[in-house]
Amino acid sequence: MKDEPETILYTDGACSGNPGPGGWAFVLFHCPTGKRMESSGGEAETTNNRMELQAVVEGLSALKRSASVRLVSDSSYVLNGLSTWMKSWKANGWRRKEKGRWAEVKNLDLWKKLDELVALHDVEFEWIKGHAGHKENERCDELAVAEWHKFK
């Protein structure tokens, strides 16, 4: 990937209870033009991990064509899954070891969708600490929390 990606995708998910009402949000920034886009949504009954994944699915789905993308997230679950775990999950029929036995990967529908979407782009991953004053991460959190509040 180039030093400066074409697009930066910031994502976050939030949940009140786990499971409970949840929200996801993303901010897309197109580096060459400075254009910015944000979107959010939610579900009445979900988990935080599903909302973290959904934010990335929605953000990558918003891209109109293949692009170099820097995915910036505070979710180790999402970033480790995409950068490390997914390869072995796929090799093992989308299964993982759990307590010495094979078990289906949790949130399989979203992981499979992400697998398709990531294949369309040149994606690099960047972890940032959540709730640490990062402007775009804070904005995503604000949008995601507002979404789950709609279900209260």
pLDDT tens, residue by residue, 118-151: 999 999 999 999 888 889 999 999 999 999 999 9
Element (H, E) at 42: strand 35-46
Catalytic residue among 43, 52, 136, 147: 52
Tally of structural domains, the chain: 1
Task: Tell me whether residue 149 is one of the annotated catalytic residues.
Answer: no
For residue 127, give the CATH number of its domain: 3.30.420.10
Bridging pattern class, strands 7-15 and 20-30: antiparallel
- Is 1 within the bounds of a domain? no
Task: Tell me whether residue 13 is one of the annotated catalytic residues.
Answer: yes
Looking at the predicted structure, is the pLDDT value of residue 2 above 80? no
- Dihedral Cα 112, 113, 116, 122, nearest 10 deg: -110
pLDDT tens-digit readout, 23-43: 999 999 999 999 999 999 999
Catalytic residue among 17, 45, 98, 131: 131
Q: Report pTM.
A: 0.95
- Give yes or no for a contact between 56 and 9, defined as CB atoms under 8 angstroms apart: yes
With pLDDT > 70 as the criterion, what percentage of the chain qualifies?
Answer: 98
Task: Tell me whether residue 52 is one of the annotated catalytic residues.
Answer: yes
Catalytic residue among 12, 43, 58, 147: 12
Task: Tell me whether residue 42 is one of the annotated catalytic residues.
Answer: no
- In the 8-state DSSP scheme, what is residue 152? -
Catalytic residue among 13, 22, 23, 81: 13
Task: Tell me whether residue 41 is one of the annotated catalytic residues.
Answer: no
- Is 22 within the bounds of a domain? yes
- Is 114 within the bounds of a domain? yes
As a whole number, mean pLDDT of residues 2-22 equals 91
pLDDT of residue 3: 66
Model confidence at 1, pLDDT cuts 50, 70, 90, reads: very low
- Is 2 within the bounds of a domain? no
Task: Tell me whether residue 34 is one of the annotated catalytic residues.
Answer: no
pLDDT tens-digit readout, 66-117: 999 999 999 999 999 999 999 999 999 999 999 999 999 999 999 999 999 9
C-alpha distance from residue 96 to each of 85, 86, 100, 112, 132 (Å): 9, 10, 9, 14, 32
Residues contacting residue 31 through CB under 8 Å, at least 6 positions apart: 4, 5, 6, 7, 8
pLDDT of residue 145: 97
State which residues form the domain around 61.
7-149
- Is 123 within the bounds of a domain? yes
SS3 51: helix
- In the 8-state DSSP scheme, what is residue 66? -
Model confidence at 5, pLDDT cuts 50, 70, 90, reads: confident
